Amino acid sequence: MFEARLSSATTLKKVLDAIKDLLNEATFDCNDSGIQLQAMDNSHVSLVSLTLRADGFDKYRCDRNLSMGMNLGSMAKIMKCANNDDTVTMKAQDNADTVVFMFESQNQEKVSDYEMKLMNLDQEHLGIPETDYACIVRMPAMEFARICRDLSQFGESLVICCTKEGVKFSASGDVGSANIKLAQTTSVDKEEEAVIIEMQEPVTLTFACRYLNSFTKATPLTNQVQLSMSMDVPLVVEYRIQDIGHVRYYLAPKIED
Amino acid sequence: ENSQKNIRTFFLSK
């Protein structure tokens, strides 16, 4: 028996919005420590890794490890039927071929359940090695989304250059070029508005704007985003999900041939 | 033009 309950459907709606741009379908691996999902996008350029810890749910029970392959478009149709303040419960029997989403209104007067067929997905799991990154940037998630959106008008690629003074985002193309520099915050009044840089050595890397823009669909989940970079290895874009886990995106850099 | 790498080339298949 698997059962996981969240007191507000908003979190699950936001999590789904954060991944469905990149993934059509994905396997939710459930065990007694929580729910994990790892999947590459169709073109195998980026990797999505989601962790929802058991202790972050209002109720969590998973008697046997369970892998639930879901069509995220179908899941989105179901989640659309939930009000933000509904309680949402996911339920499945052991070895089930369906999962049930149950929504309960706050006053308990409306209860809906939606049963969705599960899929057998043949997904490759990748081992991500522990890495000491040359630069780690923490910045407001809204600011990062704005920069990706603005600069993607000027080119397909975004260059991120990080030094201890700050981080510079650049794009260029037919129109011309655009640069946005963010200085490291000197005095932190509001932590969520700070730009913090931990630098071992400076890094300049180039990434496809299209994927960065997809990652920023996770912005409603949290105030701050963390970018971890080292030369010629994938960028990690991490959004923490308060009290329950995180979604991480790994993006392969563009490299000169 | 820089070439786009495949994410799989950086991580090991489990």
Per-residue model confidence as pLDDT tens digits over A71-89: 999 999 999 999 999 999 9
> Which range has the worst mean pLDDT, A23-27, A29-33, A189-193, A230-234?
A189-193
Burial class (CB in 10 A: 0-12, 13-18, 19+), A122: exposed
- The chain B residue lying nearest A43, using CA atoms, is B6
Rounded percentage of chain A residues whose pLDDT exceeds 70: 100
Question: What's chain B's Rg over C-alpha atoms?
Answer: 10
**Which of A46, A124, A256 is opposite residue B2, by nearest beta carbon?**
A256
Q: Do A252 and B12 touch (CB under 8 A)?
A: no
Q: Which amino acid, A29?
A: D
The answer to whether the CB of A69 falls within 8 A of the CB of A97 is no
Residue A39, SS3? strand
Q: Is the pLDDT of residue A142 over 80?
A: yes
pLDDT score of A26? 97
Tell me what the mean pLDDT of segment A118-140 comes to.
92
B13: chain A residues, CB-CB within 8 Å? 124-127
pLDDT grade for B1, boundaries at 50, 70 and 90: low
Q: Where are the beta strands (DSSP E) in chain A?
A: 2-6, 25-31, 34-40, 46-53, 59-62, 66-71, 87-92, 98-104, 111-117, 126-127, 135-140, 157-162, 166-172, 177-183, 196-199, 203-208, 224-229, 235-241, 245-251, 254-255
Mean pLDDT of A198-216: 97
Do residue B11 and residue A252 have CB atoms under 8 angstroms apart? no
Strands (E), A154-223: 157-162, 166-172, 177-183, 196-199, 203-208
Conformational region of residue B7, where left means phi above 0, alpha means psi within -120 to 50, and beta covers everything else: alpha
* Least confident window among A122-126, A218-222, A232-236: A122-126
The answer to whether B8 contacts A257, with C-beta atoms less than 8 Å apart, is no
Please give the helix or strand (H or E) that residue A18 lies within, else none: helix A9-19
pLDDT band at B13 (very low <50, low <70, confident <90, very high): confident
A151-160 tens-digit pLDDT: 999 999 999 9
Please indicate whether, in this complex, the C-beta atoms of A44 and B11 are within 8 angstroms of each other: no
Per-residue confidence (pLDDT) for residue A152, from 0 to 100: 97
